[in-house]
Chain A
């Protein structure tokens, strides 16, 4: 990890100094141990700030939408999940491949600060990855814990830790160790319709309608989102369960078949809505109805929901 932290600075400096790109988007560190956030580096000055650590979770590819407006080439770092999101933007024709340079980062899983906090690991100054362990540094000294115990749920089920697309790979491939990703969906499938309705109603009613889940999503790249159109206003602004449900059902349908299962929506939700379970229900249904499909793996394969086969099952119209 230490090494990669140096490599990213080198490659960024190189690309910029050779004039190959106008901008490098990476991550930098905030005051607090878990703050690793998107950084925009255009010249030598910012390069030293770039970091790679177990908290570099924000997906950088969405920024391409805006940044490419006035730049000819932009470089970004992509983890496994980010690369899927990037491919989805390509498939949706929202970015041009030639205008982007991808540094691939094989990712051994990122750390959810809230899991550390919940286990009482607070007031830290640094968290380092060392093999399968995390080194937690605080004023009291260092402590080692098992990394997997504190990884994001989305990382525990990750099947593509090595970027599926890149221009330059910055490290050795890592081995995927995915847990079963549909376990949560299966739990929800077991309960009765009424119970499930009640479960989702309870979740949706917590939504504050900030739209962070949409704004962060690599599949939500419409120039004008249906929820933002002032006239007619499809989604009312009232904090009513019916509006919450409307928003979430439409959001889930709009990303169905294009959701790359990166889990960003779930991570950014300020009130912890388990949106990934909802997305995964769609993925699971699509897999079962139309055959296995992983959005974002190959932008050239045809997506099942936008192709028609005469032998497609008619599950949506059958009662």
Chain B
């Protein structure tokens, strides 16, 4: 395990930015989001949930992937290169878990090589949470606020120092390049991390218990709830805005569109959402999910039943963004409760 004095972080960022494009939580106009590092950037490592999760770094909101040229009846198609190496610094464990969840779908056969290439180009440095936010419930999904098993490098904020632990070869390779900036951590460090992890997890678990936000058995409970009246109650206030899906670190639905100027054009994929009315609208005007009720049901069933049926993991990491950001408080924990898990 290594450590770095927090005063040296700007030097570290500068070095990382030399190695690759560096993204980290930056505050601009009062909003903290993952943004490219620039000298003097207002890096904010205190905010737990950035407004938008860093999923857009592995799965951009829109991503051009081919260029076409049309001339009369002739067509040329040329694939575009994926951006080069990058480093994500300060990703919270839930957001890293979100990426690991999306990996399951995109890397499953047939592998989405566009995603894979971008994913492989990135090195993710996580930052453990010392304490949860009021809307955090990652422990419900067997995740730990203080630890991110899927990151390439884990870090923890111990006040004066940031502890640093590479978790795999990619992480070790990057760590080796930073040798002069990192110091060896003493034996107490491991204990301090252990304590931080336990404290954070038990504090959050207590809150989760108090609110009844445990997820145990929800998948099984939802198996016969397609026609349940729980959807009648919950959907009615929905504005169909898609905030809950765009800000969700696990949502991964996309649309494919063309953009053209004269004979040249680009094809791109861009985020889409099952909460939008046109998501399933067919060319001849029929829509298998005609009202917001079916759409709200799809969102929750997909996260809590369909995705786990296919990939053995819930498509929710309990980051609480949708809980916080839905303008009318349609809150996944309400569905979890209404579904009622088995003990």
Chain A interfacial positions (CB closer than 8 Å to B) = 30-32, 35-40, 58, 62-63, 122-123, 202-203, 206, 208, 210-212, 215-216, 228, 230, 233, 236-240, 267-268, 270-272
Determine whether the beta carbon of A37 is less than 8 Å from that of B51: no
Pick out which of these stretches binds chain A: B214-222, B294-302, B325-333: B325-333
Determine whether the beta carbon of A58 is less than 8 Å from that of B327: yes
CB neighbors of A among B224-242 (8 A):
236-237, 239-242
Determine whether the beta carbon of A228 is less than 8 Å from that of B278: yes
In the complex with contacts A35-B329, A58-B328, A271-B51, A212-B60 CB distance below 8 A: no
Q: Which residues of B contact A268 (CB under 8 A)?
A: 239, 241, 243, 327
Determine whether the beta carbon of B257 is less than 8 Å from that of A236: yes
Determine whether the beta carbon of A216 is less than 8 Å from that of B52: no
In the complex with contacts A228-B277, A271-B52, A37-B328 CB distance below 8 A: yes
Closest B-chain residue to A265, C-beta based? B327
Chain B interfacial positions (CB closer than 8 Å to A) = 28-31, 33, 51-52, 60-62, 134-135, 211, 236-237, 239-243, 246-247, 255, 257, 259, 268, 270-273, 277-278, 281, 323, 325, 327-331, 333-334
Cα(A32)–Cα(B333), bound, Å: 11
Q: How far is the CB of A31 from chain B (nearest CB, A)?
A: 5
Determine whether the beta carbon of A212 is less than 8 Å from that of B236: no
Cα(A94)–Cα(B271), bound, Å: 32
Closest B-chain residue to A40, C-beta based? B236
Q: Which residues of A contact B33 (CB under 8 A)?
A: 206, 271
Determine whether the beta carbon of B237 is less than 8 Å from that of A202: no
Q: Which residues of A contact B255 (CB under 8 A)?
A: 237
Q: Which residues of B contact A58 (CB under 8 A)?
A: 237, 327-328
Determine whether the beta carbon of A40 is less than 8 Å from that of B61: no
Q: Please name 13 further chain A to chain B contacts, defined as beta carbons within 8 Å, in addition to the given A32-B135, A202-B28, A212-B327, sorted by A numbering.
A: A35-B329, A37-B329, A38-B236, A203-B29, A206-B29, A211-B241, A215-B240, A216-B239, A237-B62, A238-B62, A238-B259, A238-B270, A270-B247
Closest A-chain residue to B325, C-beta based? A270
Which of A202, A268, A272 counts the most B-chain CB atoms under 10 A from its CB? A268
Cα(A281)–Cα(B243), bound, Å: 26
Cα(A122)–Cα(B268), bound, Å: 42
Determine whether the beta carbon of B62 is less than 8 Å from that of A122: no
Q: How far is the CB of B243 from chain A (nearest CB, A)?
A: 5
Cα(A123)–Cα(B272), bound, Å: 34
Q: Which residues of A contact B239 (CB under 8 A)?
A: 62, 212, 215-216, 268
Cα(A233)–Cα(B259), bound, Å: 11
Determine whether the beta carbon of B51 is less than 8 Å from that of A270: yes
| 7 contacting pairs across A/B (C-beta < 8 A) | A30-B331, A37-B328, A208-B271, A212-B239, A215-B241, A268-B243, A272-B30
Closest A-chain residue to B277, C-beta based? A228
Cα(A236)–Cα(B271), bound, Å: 12
Cα(A37)–Cα(B327), bound, Å: 9
Determine whether the beta carbon of A31 is less than 8 Å from that of B333: yes
Q: Which residues of A contact B211 (CB under 8 A)?
A: 31
Closest B-chain residue to A23, C-beta based? B236
Q: How far is the CB of B215 from chain A (nearest CB, A)?
A: 15
Q: Which residues of B contact A228 (CB under 8 A)?
A: 277-278
Determine whether the beta carbon of B331 is less than 8 Å from that of A35: yes
Cβ contact of A123, chosen from B29, B60, B61, B134, cutoff 8 A? B134
Q: Which residues of B contact A270 (CB under 8 A)?
A: 51, 243, 246-247, 325
In the complex with contacts A31-B211, A270-B51, A272-B31, A239-B334 CB distance below 8 A: no
In the complex with contacts A31-B331, A239-B60, A270-B243, A37-B259 CB distance below 8 A: no
Determine whether the beta carbon of A37 is less than 8 Å from that of B52: no
Q: How far is the CB of A14 from chain B (nearest CB, A)?
A: 22
Closest A-chain residue to B135, C-beta based? A32
Q: Which residues of A contact B134 (CB under 8 A)?
A: 32, 122-123
Cβ contact of A236, chosen from B51, B259, B325, B330, cutoff 8 A? B259
Q: Which residues of B contact A240 (CB under 8 A)?
A: 62
Q: How far is the CB of B143 from chain A (nearest CB, A)?
A: 20
Q: How far is the CB of B273 from chain A (nearest CB, A)?
A: 8
Q: Which residues of B contact A271 (CB under 8 A)?
A: 31, 33, 51-52
Determine whether the beta carbon of A30 is less than 8 Å from that of B334: yes
Which of B30, B243, B268, B278 counts the most A-chain CB atoms under 10 A from its CB? B243
Closest B-chain residue to A233, C-beta based? B257
Determine whether the beta carbon of A206 is less than 8 Å from that of B331: no
Q: How far is the CB of B62 from chain A (nearest CB, A)?
A: 4
Pick the 3 closest A-B CB pairs, nearest first.
A212-B241, A268-B327, A37-B329
Cα(A296)–Cα(B239), bound, Å: 22
Q: Which residues of A contact B28 (CB under 8 A)?
A: 202
In the complex with contacts A208-B52, A208-B246, A237-B270 CB distance below 8 A: yes
